[in-house]
Amino acid sequence: MASERVLITGASSGIGAALAHQYAQRGAKVILVARPSERLQSVTTAVHGIAFPGDVADPVVIANAVTYAQDTLEGLDVVIANAGYALRGDLSDLTMADIRRQFETNVFGVLTTIQATLPLLRATRGRLVIIGSVAGSVTTRGAIAYAMSKAALRPVAEGLRLELAGSGVSVTLITPGLIVSDIDHRDHMGALIPGLTPTPSRWAMPTSDAARKIVRAIDRRRTEAVITWHAWFLLLAWHWCPCLVRPFLAHDRSRHDRSRHGRGT
Domain count, the chain: 1
Domain residues for 200? Answer: 5-264
pLDDT digits (tens, 9 = 90+) for 102-121: 999 999 999 999 999 999 99
Q: Identify the active-site residue in 23, 68, 85, 146.
A: 146
pLDDT at site 180: 77
Q: Identify the CATH number of the domain in which residue 134 sits.
A: 3.40.50.720
pLDDT digits (tens, 9 = 90+) for 176-194: 988 876 555 444 444 444 4
Please state the pTM of the whole predicted model: 0.85
pLDDT for residue 79 is more than 50: yes
Among this protein's residues, is 146 annotated catalytic? Answer: yes
pLDDT at site 232: 67
pLDDT for residue 127 is more than 90: yes
DSSP string of the chain, one letter each residue: -PPPEEEEESTTSHHHHHHHHHHHHTT-EEEEEE-S-HHHHHHHHHHT-EEEES-TT-HHHHHHHHHHHHHTSS--SEEEE-------S-GGG--HHHHHHHHIIIIIHHHHHHHHHHHHHHHHT-EEEEE--GGGTSPPTT-HHHHHHHHTHHHHHHHHHHHTTTSS-EEEEEEE-SBS-SGGGB-TTS-B-TTPPPPPTTTSBPHHHHHHHHHHHHHTT-SEEEESHHHHHHHHHHHH-HHHHHHHHT-----S-HHHHHHH-
pLDDT for residue 237 is more than 70: no
